[in-house]
Amino acid sequence: MPTPTLFVCGVPRAGTTTLYRYLRQHPEVCMSKRKETGIFLENYDKGMEWLVSNYLTHYDGEAVVGESTTGHMQHPPSARRMAKAVPDAKLVFILRDPVERLHSHYRFHRQSGHLTSDDQFSDLIRDETSEWRRVNIENGLYYKHLTRFENFFDRTQMKILFLRDLKDDPGSVARALYSFVGVDTTFAPDLSRRHNSGGTPRHEGLYRSLHRLWQPVRRRVGIDVLDATQVLRDRVRDWLTTDSRHMTMAPEDRAYLQDIYREPNRRLEEWLGKDLSHWS
């Protein structure tokens, strides 16, 4: 039975799907058929045997076996659970300017139908009674989450990557990822496709109906089916949505979020020893 020892842990809307795909393409790596298995979240009680028997049945002797769930990073019990189950695990995190990440998550929720045009970004980020605000502000407190993992894992077991680098030089990021994992760094994955690009529905009622119908199917089919239907699904999504990148952040909203993240970002800079002044 294969033993998963590699976990892509987060953060949401920062490139985890792209990293998952790079790893999945590598012949020496076996990634779970489903991304977001929640093995240390809602499915923790099912055990690692559940993960293997449901999502790693395609294992064929690869040197590295892995899984990717973005929610593991910000979920407090996950680090302890992971360390207990796989103390020698290798953990991958990819970070993004937390202000931009939060706005991207808003656009994503607009696209998926979790939010509507009545849910304005300015209102959501200021509503301190809102669960949406609490969760999504919390997602960007990277220093808090990474140091929690450091309580259970050595820093050498943690690889921190950045979305900006992934966009500027995906080949270098792929090689750094392969080097950390311990597989052949000369393997060249397909770098051409952008994953999880955002969009806003042209017709919210129609989009929501189709989205509700698709989600149960998506949870049941394997990654091979998703890959085989990717071109068709991209065309349908393009027909149903418009590019959401035109939904720019208001200057006052950016300033409000910058104030929230200023001190956490400063502490992260010190912990990483990396200049993050290019963040908002």
Domains of the chain: 6-199+243-272 (3.40.50.300)
Provide the pLDDT for residue 224. Answer: 64
Provide the pLDDT for residue 103. Answer: 96
pLDDT band at residue 240 under the 50/70/90 scheme: low
Residue given tokens 């970002």 in the structure block: 265
d(CA 257, CA 98): 9
CA 52 from chain center: how many Å? 21
pLDDT band at residue 194 under the 50/70/90 scheme: low
d(CA 206, CA 13): 24
Tokens of 60: 């064929």
DSSP 243: -
Contact in structure between 29 and 61 (CB atoms under 8 Å): no
- Percent of the chain exceeding pLDDT 70 equals 81
Residue bearing the bigger pLDDT, 77 or 243: 77
pTM for the full model? Answer: 0.84
pLDDT over 90 (residue 167): yes
